[in-house]
Structure 1
Amino acid sequence: MRVLIIEDDQNLLETLITRFEKEGFLVDAADNGEDGLYKGQEYPADVAVIDLGLPKISGMEVIQTLRNDGFTYPILVLTARGSWQDKVMGLDAGADDYLVKPFHFPELLARVNALLRRSSGHSTPEITCDHVSLNTSTQEVRVEGRLVDLTSYEYKVLEYLMMHQGEVVSKTTLTEHIYHQDFDRDSNVIEVFVGRLRKKLKAADSDNKIIETLRGRGYRMRASSTE
C-alpha cells in the first residue's frame, strides 16, 4: 500500500518514513503543504497522514483542496493541536481520523490500517477470498488454514488484490502501488509475482484461478463464492 506523509518536522518525518517502510508501505513524503498537495494530486496514494501546521499551504487547505478535487483516499490528521474545535475542523475539512502528538507509532499504524480496511469495505484485519485468508495486522497469509510463506513483494501484490476483490486491477496500477516512480514499467516482474502467487495459493481441489488474468486489462482477485 502507498502512504503519503506530509509533515514539516524533519526528525519526525524521517522516523515515519522509516517505520512505514519497515511495515511494507511505499512512502511518498513532503515537508510542506505545497509539495504535499502536488504529491497528493499526482501520486496514487492509498492513504495520507497530514499535519495541520504546515508551511506554504496549511494542512487544512491541503485536505480541503484534495477533497474538492475529488480525491477520496482516507486521510488521517496528525497534529499537536488537541482541542475539540481543531478536531472538528479537521474532520469537517474532509479528514477521516485524527491523532494528536505526541503519539505511539503502533497506534498510528493501527489507525492507518483501519482506514485502509474501511475504504475497501472490510471491518477486521482478516480478509478472506475463498480458501485464502490474509491478516493485514500480522501480514500472515493462509491457504486452507495453512500458513504460506510469501516474499515482501508477493505479499504487497496479494494485499492490494485482496483489498480490491472483484475489481480489475491493471499491471500499471499494481506497479504504482508497490514501486516508486522510477520503476521500469515495461518489466514483467508483476507477471512473475502473480505466477508465484497462483502456485502458493492453490488449494488441494482448486482450479488455480483465484487470481484471474484479463488479457489486455490486468488481474482480478476472484470474489468469494459466498458473495
Structure 2
Amino acid sequence: MRILLVEDDELVADKLVKNLISQNYAIDVAADGQAGWELVDAFTYDLILLDVNLPKLDGITLCQRLRSQGLRIPILLLTAHNSSSDKVMGLDAGADDYVTKPFDVDELLARIRALLRRGSSTSSPILEWRKLHLDPSVCQVTYNGQPIPLTPKEYGLLELFLRYSNRVFSRDLILEHLWSFEELPGEETVTAHIKGLRRKLKAAGLSEDPIETVYGIGYRLKAAEPKQPKSKSKRTKKSKQLSSDLEQQAIDTAINVWQRVQEKFTSRVAVIEQATTAMLRDDLDESLRQQAQQEAHKLAGSLGMFDFDEGSNLAQEMEQLLEAQMPLQPKQRQRLAELVAAMHQELERAINQQNPQLLKIEN
C-alpha cells in the first residue's frame, strides 16, 4: 500500500516514515500543500496523511481541492488543534478521519488500517484466501497457522491482491501502489517479486497458486472457492445482458491496455533507433547512449513479461552493445542496425499475433 504524507515538520515526518515503513507501506513525503497536490496529480495513492497547518497550501484547502476533483482517496488529517470546530471543518472539507497531535502511533496505524479496509473488497481485519491469512495489524502471513517469512515487497503484493481481490493489477499499477517515486524501479522488478512470492507460498504448502496472470493485463487474486457447475435452469434476459456487458467491458479494457503496451514498446525502440542512427553518423553523445541502453534494458524485461521471447533476446543483445566501450567497431555498429530492423519486424509480428479480446489465464 502506498501512502502520501504531507507534513512540514521534519521530526514528525521522519518518525512517521520510520513507523509506516516498518508496517510495509511505501511512503512519499511532501513538505508543503502545493507539493502534495502535485504528487497526487502525478501518482496513485491508497491513502493520504495530511497535516492541517502547511505552507503554500493549507491542509483544509488541499483536502477541498482533492474532493472537488472527484478524488476519493482516504484522507486522514493530522491536526494540532483539539477544538471541535477545527475537527468539524476538516471533516466537512472531505477528510475521512483525523488524529490530534501529539498522537499515539499505534492508534494512528490502527486508523490507517481501518480506512484502507473501507476501500477494499473485504471489511475483515484479517485478509484471507482459503487457509492463507494476512494480519495487517502485526504484518504477519500464515498458512494453516504456520508463519510464512516474506520480504516487505512480497508482503505488500500479497496484501494488495487480498485487499482488492476483484481487481486486475498491471505491473505499472503495482509499481504505483508499492513503490515510492524515489525508488521506482522497472516493471521487471514486479515480475521478480511475484515469482519470489509464488515460490514461498508453494514452499509453505499451498497446492494451488492464489495469483493468476492475466496475459496482456497483469495479475489478480484467484477465486477462493472452485467454480460451481452451471445450473441447467434458464437464465433470464437480464442476466444474459449483464454477462454480455461484463464481457464487453473486459474486452474494452484489454484492448486499451494492449494499445498502451504497444505505444510503450514502440517509443522504446524509437530511442534505440535514434541512438543507432547517431552512432552510424559518428554523432552519438553519452546522454543518448545511456538513454538507449536503459530503454533496451526495459524493453528486454517488458517483452519477456508478455512472452515475446525473441524480442526480449534482441533487446538484450542491443543492451550489451550499447554498454560496450565506445566507439563500437564497424561490425558491431552494423549488428546494432540489424537488431533494430529485426526488432521492428518482431514487434509487428507480436502486435498482429496478439489478440487482446482473448484473455488467456495462466493457472
TM-score, normalised to structure 1's length?
0.91
Equivalent residue number for residue 153 of structure 1: 153
Give the 3-state SS of the residue equivalent to 1:158 in structure 2: helix
Give the 3-state SS of the residue equivalent to 2:107 in structure 1: helix
CA gap of 1:204–1:151, structure 2 versus 1, over 3 A, is: closer
CA gap of 1:15–1:222, structure 2 versus 1, over 3 A, is: same
Judge conservation of contact 1:47–1:116 (CA < 8 Å) in 2: yes
Give the 3-state SS of the residue equivalent to 1:168 in structure 2: coil
Give the 3-state SS of the residue equivalent to 1:13 in structure 2: helix
Quick check: 1:80 aligned with 2:77? no
Equivalent residue number for residue 185 of structure 1: 186
Structure of higher RCO (CA pairs closer than 8 Å, 6+ residues apart): 1
Q: Which ranges of structure 1 fall in alignment gaps of 5 or more residues? A: none
Equivalent residue number for residue 168 of structure 1: 168
RMSD: 1.9
Judge conservation of contact 2:52–2:60 (CA < 8 Å) in 1: yes
CA gap of 1:55–1:132, structure 2 versus 1, over 3 A, is: same
Most deviating of 59-68 and 114-123: 114-123
**Count of matched residue pairs:** 225
Higher CA-based Rg? 2
Whole-Å separation in 2 of the counterparts to 1:18 and 1:210: 31
Quick check: 1:33 aligned with 2:33? yes
Equivalent residue number for residue 42 of structure 2: 42
CA gap of 1:166–1:56, structure 2 versus 1, over 3 A, is: same
What is the CA deviation profile of residues 68-125 of structure 1, one whole-angstrom value per residue up to 9, with x for unaligned ones? 1121111101101211121111111111111111111111111111111222143332
What is the CA deviation profile of residues 173-205 of structure 1, one whole-angstrom value per residue up to 9, with x for unaligned ones? 11122223353324x222222222223324757
Whole-Å separation in 2 of the counterparts to 1:8 and 1:35: 11
Q: Which has the higher strand share?
A: 1
CA gap of 1:129–1:30, structure 2 versus 1, over 3 A, is: same
Judge conservation of contact 1:132–1:201 (CA < 8 Å) in 2: no
Equivalent residue number for residue 17 of structure 2: 17
Q: Which has the higher helix share?
A: 2
| Offset, 1:226 | 8.6
Whole-Å separation in 2 of the counterparts to 1:26 and 1:83: 32
Equivalent residue number for residue 110 of structure 2: 110
Amino acid at match of 1:81: H
Amino acid at match of 1:104: D
Equivalent residue number for residue 213 of structure 1: 213
Give the 3-state SS of the residue equivalent to 1:150 in structure 2: coil
Whole-Å separation in 1 of the counterparts to 2:15 and 2:220: 35
Percentage identity across paired residues of the two chains: 38
Judge conservation of contact 1:130–1:223 (CA < 8 Å) in 2: no
Whole-Å separation in 1 of the counterparts to 2:131 and 2:174: 23
Give the 3-state SS of the residue equivalent to 2:192 in structure 1: helix
Give the 3-state SS of the residue equivalent to 1:138 in structure 2: coil
Equivalent residue number for residue 66 of structure 1: 66
Whole-Å separation in 2 of the counterparts to 1:209 and 1:11: 43
What is the CA deviation profile of residues 34-55 of structure 1, one whole-angstrom value per residue up to 9, with x for unaligned ones? 1111112222111111111111
Give the 3-state SS of the residue equivalent to 2:49 in structure 1: strand
Equivalent residue number for residue 91 of structure 2: 91
Whole-Å separation in 1 of the counterparts to 2:156 and 2:145: 20
Give the 3-state SS of the residue equivalent to 2:38 in structure 1: helix
